[in-house]
Structure 1
Amino acid sequence: MVVKASVWYDGSVSKAATQASRLRLILLACVVDKSSSKDKEAIDAIINGGKVSPLVRRHCLCVLMDPNGSEDEKSVAKLFKVSVTPSIYIFHSSGNVVLAGDRLNETQLFSKLLPRINGHGGDDKEDKEYAEIFEKNRQLHEQRQQTLRDLYEANSNESDERHLRAIEAERYRQILIKQRRKDIVHLQKLREDIVSDRQTYAMIHGKAAHVTAVDEIDEPAIRVDKSKVRLLFRLSNGGSKICDFDSHAKFADIRELVESTMGFVQGRSEIALAQPWRVFESSMDTMTLEELGLAPSATLFVRVWNTAPPRAKSKWPQWKSLLAIVVALLAVAVYWYSNRIVWATTTDLAVRK
């Protein structure tokens, strides 16, 4: 059976040689003194080395042999003159090699196995040159593999970048969709405001003439009557009123209308233009509506100012009447008392006479 580098063939040396020949493997007979654990540890360290282990695992069959062991091991040791322990005996058709003493190391084993694995066998110099060439080729192969790995990582990074760009593009698209929805809501609000403004304009200025085509425009229908001024009054009590005036009417007529028909106290009302804001003083009452810039229409705000709070009913009349009654009673009492004194004095004088 074929064993891994850390597993030894369980059998005699002769059976291991037969098995290696049948499977076309290189037989490594590791000569050790089985009574000494140091020999076994030294052989294990060499065979399980980083460079040798892949070769031994695929192309070699390992077996332990003790020159002083069984009869089979003794006969093999005598036949191939193996006596030094620990040592490694390489059996190959190109020639057998014994590694012992200073030559028993991983580098020597690698340089001896590699040529024989590739079908080449020679002296030590040729084996060394072949091992050096193989090492250079192996390094070149490693460089190429590293280049391929770097290229693969670069492609992977580029793929990741494309994925990130796709994620960013999708995020930006979602932002645009949300902004588009907000714009739609905003446009809808603008349309509603426009409709509301048109209704307000129609309430103030009347409904505009409908035009179906350019060549069907009715000139009298769209002509503005410049002799009239339409004013919308916004009252401070929340009410509103629309009135038409002649463009040459004085502003005093406006103030008189406000104070007479809208329930505002004379001299205590303030009239102001909405846009731009301007308060009309009493000195402007002699100016016409056209001179004040109120033609053809305007919105005026009317409010009450400088209005004193209503006075409480005086209680003086009640006290006045009560005081008058008290004074009258006092006068009657004084009159009665004075007459009594006079009468008593007169009676006393008459008695004395």
Structure 2
Amino acid sequence: MKDKKGMEVFHWILIMIVGAVILLFGVIFAGKSGGVEQQKQNVLVVEYLEMFFNPFTSVGAIADSFGKKVSLPYEIDAELRCEGGKEFLFVGSGGKISSEKIENFVYTPSKIKARELFVLTKSFEIPFRVTDLIFTFDSGQKFCVIYDEQDAGQADFVDQLKGDIEGSLVDAQGNFAYCQDIGCCRVAGSTRIISLNAQKGDVNLVPQGADGEGFSFGEVTWAAQGAQGSGQGAASAGRKSVFVSSALAEAAIFSDYPLYSCNLRRLMSKTGSVSDIYSEKANYLGAIAQPQVCNYNALRGDLQQIKTLAGSVGSAQSLSSARALNGAAQEFETKNMELPCIQIY
């Protein structure tokens, strides 16, 4: 029944998207050319893209990841900016701000100049589900992931990334290469290099988790200069942040520092809000359960700790804060799974 409901929601999303495409093209090609018309087209494109960036339902309720190839009526200049804890979409010369802020968490490499985009979503959980992360990149972007195939953690992460791409974005398989060294990436014609093994890439991920959980948390740095002249902005050069969960590690692949860092603060704030919701649930369950059997008060304390540590990750973005949050999340997950009563999530 749950699968059937999920497919119904999925089909409804597609119907909405197809309808928007028909409307978009009909209005655009019905108009006259000129500067004013170009501005109208930019407004329509903004509204169209907002349908992907502000979905009315949670993709995470349907599947772990979901992908879509987005074709636009003309090549656009677009940029996502995160300012004051809010994310905005700009399209066109000089930037056309979206009518409303982007509610979700969208990650993209710097500015986009393209007629076709790939959009991929990934569920963010720590350990309970918080929200969906949305990755977008233009169809001409070529990624290369350098990793050590003998390292189990790196190999598992690459397999997971491959699964997300091949399972959700079949058309984007040719945009990704997986290599053992940077020379292989150059042969592949990559424009954005991701390193998992300390070689100098545009984005460098350093996992810190224990065996089998390497990408549960770690550090991410952006190269001072693009490894392949990828044109990373000066704001990304030599900057450093952290990731908590493999989903955020993937987000770093598709993002430059300013957007990633700002979204991390937003995401950790939302993690705190979701922790409060589960804390209220624990309070309710504790009122109707036998305290000597179901210790919901202890779980409430753990949830408060997750909220506090998430705030530290968002503000400090330090490896120590990421390590502490990861440990608290794992401890809470263990207690919740072992609970002999109704689980919190």
TM-score of the aligned structures, taking structure 2 as reference length = 0.24
Indicate the structure with greater strand content: 2
**Bigger relative CO (Cα 8 Å, ≥ 6 apart):** 2
Q: Larger Rg: 1 or 2?
A: 1
Indicate the structure with greater helix content: 1
TM-score of the aligned structures, taking structure 1 as reference length = 0.23
